[in-house]
Amino acid sequence: MEIDEFGIPFVNDEQQMKLGGLMRLVFASEPDEHGFRDAAVRCIGLFTLEDFTKSSPHDEAPPYPTGTIRRWSEWKSFMLSEKATADFSKAATLSNAPAKMGALGQPNDGLMQALIQHQITPQKRFNILSAMDDRSRNEQIDNAARFTFLIAEQEAHRNKGYFPN
């Protein structure tokens, strides 16, 4: 209970990645009769994992894995292209998105806000964030936005009584 912040690396199947979420403990319940407790956490940032050490029952180290991280904030400046903005906006219109969406999808909106709002999968978000260069990242963002629009377009037709194949 002395740890206020900790990291959770992204895991794909059983493969641990070098990118993860920096978490803050919000609430922890008292332990039950088996020693388990409920906890609520909030992601407050991202990190890159520089090294990782698994613990073993025989170590004197903490009973959980440890590692060295580097806080990563460059992702906050990633923006949507005009093409992605247009596709996300059209998808929101077609899907009758709730009013709380507001002006989401404008070119100056944060990338992560748009990806989460439009339900881009965690695996796809990881792929976008870990892209090797701006061109590759922007291409993946544009493709995700286009796919989101195409799905919304098909769903709109389905709600009118038919579904194009």
Which tokens is 6 given?
Answer: 């900790």
Residues 6+ apart with CB under 8 A from 131: 137, 140
pTM of the predicted model, to two decimals? 0.68
Mean pLDDT, rounded, of the chain: 81
pLDDT at 107 over 60: no
What pairs with residue 20 in β-bridges? Answer: 9, 47
pLDDT band at 116 (very low <50, low <70, confident <90, very high): confident
- Summary count for the chain: helices (H), strands (E): 4, 4
Domain spans of the chain? 5-72, 76-158
Q: In this predicted structure, which of 32-41, 80-89, 149-158 has the lowest mean pLDDT?
A: 149-158
pLDDT at 91 over 50: yes
